[in-house]
Structure 1
């Protein structure tokens, strides 16, 4: 009996030894995503939701993303939400907090580009090569830096065919360079996030909005605007960032960080640009079918606008210099050169 007991104890000890060398089951990390994008919106449906599924697949299930039932905090506060760990993953808009991400505004200057398929991937590449070293996103790791469609002009009052037509119109502005541009054009800028646009237009607080065309139907604004004015080259672009809490990012396995970055960065930005370009075409078609006026700003007015808006660029150069950029003009020239190269030298 004693012999059998000893053999059993020995066998159990041996099994325990094998177990000590068996690989541990990889633990799943669940990232909390604070979403503010409405159902059906292009960025959400065509890029972010597929990317969420890709993250789980690319990490073999070790990293999953849980979209929270409602946005954490306010839309302008999303950077802080991620930095402070209230959520792990956010999309934030640097322009919603003026005087905080001044150097990044180089990508938002007037007449940089009106094509998101070109500028969106350039934005991520340019940020990593030229802007990341300034540390404006401390505490949040940028998974992708990109632009959506450039803001175009939509209003309920009148067609915009000359600079004089802007006078007195109250326009929503999403970021500092757009606010300055509207002021220079004689309009009245109202700084509000996109989520408040419908209420402000429907109540008459606003006459119009600067907004990516795709966002007009996405935020149910078709009935609130009668006139769309397309500015060739665009008055401004808006940078957005898909960001993750820095400490949470560092806690992931190196191989999972590598896998996530392979499907983020410039690749993610390129998909955003494609989705918005398609959404813009559909948005303008929808407005035309609804009997709205869609016009390109006439060439004489465009030429005058370029002169009127020159202070936007000059003032950014001064801001950037104060934030430690040795040669802001060179930085701006580099952006324009990359866009020209992507456009075949045009």
Structure 2
């Protein structure tokens, strides 16, 4: 065969293989999304992050947002751990008993600055909590909070603990369930995705929720009364998690690149997005003539006193989970948070 023809055939053969080689080098992550269109975290953080992942890995890692959530919203941790989807965002409190040590970050009156606290939460997790192995089967790319929890209802303005008595209020996590019981309300554990139907049908009188989500989940009409609790009645921890085996299958330099745009940076962006969303919700409330109360100093002190057992309960749970000195861990968290920016 003439050498020039042989070279041409070789080039053609290699060219034919290039698409196959490129496909073999591309990892596609299936993302199980449950956040509605327009949601602050989805639009301002997750979707830009998905694009950035492809960019920093030079196209070797791509994320495919699935057309609907895999499984249920409360089951997202297991969806990732079992490999039903590769990538999820899940609410830690939706799987009771699994993240009891990390619940220290959800205690009452911890912080009401979501941007600062989100970044701090991830940092504190990596430095002090990761050693306890609560994320078996799932690699946490980021851990964060989604804003300050306040009181929303459709019955009456809440100006004292007495106004909460007997109200059926949705609770997002175990610590909040205990808080509602201590405040005289009736806690109902349900995911946020079911709130609209439960409120419309009269099964709930209200919910504890971050303001941004009241608007993004279209609940303003269902929750005309809002009470802001300075200092934060609670914070809710969420996690951006990836199936651990899938994560380990990504080449090391790409894992490093993805980690750099995740973690604390991702958490801070979530906190900022929620704070902006909170302000938009309050603007909507004022425009629509809804009631916005701010708990008085006397009411805040009343709540603090009533919720003291929540901290005691966390200490007991942490000890059972193997934390030698939970009191010291709590003290460290408060000390480091006081210096956080």
TM-score range relative to shorter protein: over 0.9
Is 1:151–2:160 an aligned residue pair? Answer: no
Is 1:179–2:177 an aligned residue pair? Answer: yes
After superposition, the C-alpha distances for 1:10-51 in whole angstroms (9 at most, x for unaligned) are 9569969x97xx996461111000000000000100000000
Show the counterpart of 1:199. Answer: 197
Is the partner of 2:25 in helix, strand or coil? coil
Instruction: Report how far residue 80 of structure 1 moved.
Output: 0.5
C-alpha distance in 2 between matches for 1:179 and 1:229: 18
After superposition, the C-alpha distances for 1:294-318 in whole angstroms (9 at most, x for unaligned) are 1110111111110100000000000
Instruction: Report how far residue 194 of structure 1 moved.
Output: 0.3
Instruction: Report how far residue 342 of structure 1 moved.
Output: 2.4
C-alpha distance in 2 between matches for 1:13 and 1:167: 83
* One of 93, 113, 116 as aligned partner of 1:115: 113
* One of 238, 263, 279 as aligned partner of 1:265: 263
Structure 2, unpaired ranges of 5+: none
Is 1:38–2:36 an aligned residue pair? Answer: yes
C-alpha distance in 2 between matches for 1:153 and 1:335: 26
Show the counterpart of 1:274. Answer: 272
Show the counterpart of 2:78. Answer: 80
Structure number with larger C-alpha Rg: 1
Show the counterpart of 2:283. Answer: 285
Is 1:166–2:164 an aligned residue pair? Answer: yes
Show the counterpart of 1:255. Answer: 253
TM-score w.r.t. length of structure 1:
0.93
Is 1:296–2:291 an aligned residue pair? Answer: no
Show the counterpart of 1:63. Answer: 61
Is the partner of 2:339 in helix, strand or coil? helix
Structure 1, unpaired ranges of 5+: none
C-alpha distance in 2 between matches for 1:181 and 1:130: 25
Show the counterpart of 2:230. Answer: 232
* One of 330, 333, 336 as aligned partner of 2:334: 336
Instruction: Report how far residue 285 of structure 1 moved.
Output: 1.2
Instruction: Report how far residue 217 of structure 1 moved.
Output: 0.7
Is the partner of 1:154 in helix, strand or coil? strand
Structure 1 residues 14 and 199: alpha-carbon distance in aligned structure 2, compared to 1, 3 A threshold: closer
Is the partner of 2:148 in helix, strand or coil? coil
Show the counterpart of 1:141. Answer: 139
C-alpha distance in 2 between matches for 1:338 and 1:36: 33
After superposition, the C-alpha distances for 1:264-295 in whole angstroms (9 at most, x for unaligned) are 00000010011001110111111111111111
Show the counterpart of 2:323. Answer: 325
Instruction: Report how far residue 338 of structure 1 moved.
Output: 2.3
TM-score w.r.t. length of structure 2:
0.94
* One of 220, 223, 246 as aligned partner of 1:222: 220
Is 1:104–2:65 an aligned residue pair? Answer: no
C-alpha distance in 2 between matches for 1:214 and 1:14: 61
Number of aligned positions between the proteins: 335
Is the partner of 1:274 in helix, strand or coil? helix
Show the counterpart of 1:307. Answer: 305
C-alpha distance in 2 between matches for 1:305 and 1:265: 33
Q: List 4+ stretches of structure 1 deviating above 2 A.
A: 7-16, 22-26
Instruction: Report how far residue 339 of structure 1 moved.
Output: 2.2
Is the partner of 1:214 in helix, strand or coil? helix
Is the partner of 2:211 in helix, strand or coil? coil
C-alpha distance in 1 between matches for 2:288 and 2:193: 23
After superposition, the C-alpha distances for 1:89-135 in whole angstroms (9 at most, x for unaligned) are 00011101111110010000000011101110001111111011100
Measured on the aligned residues, the alpha-carbon RMSD in Å equals: 1.9
C-alpha distance in 2 between matches for 1:130 and 1:57: 32
Show the counterpart of 1:130. Answer: 128
Is the partner of 2:198 in helix, strand or coil? helix
Structure 1 residues 106 and 14: alpha-carbon distance in aligned structure 2, compared to 1, 3 A threshold: same
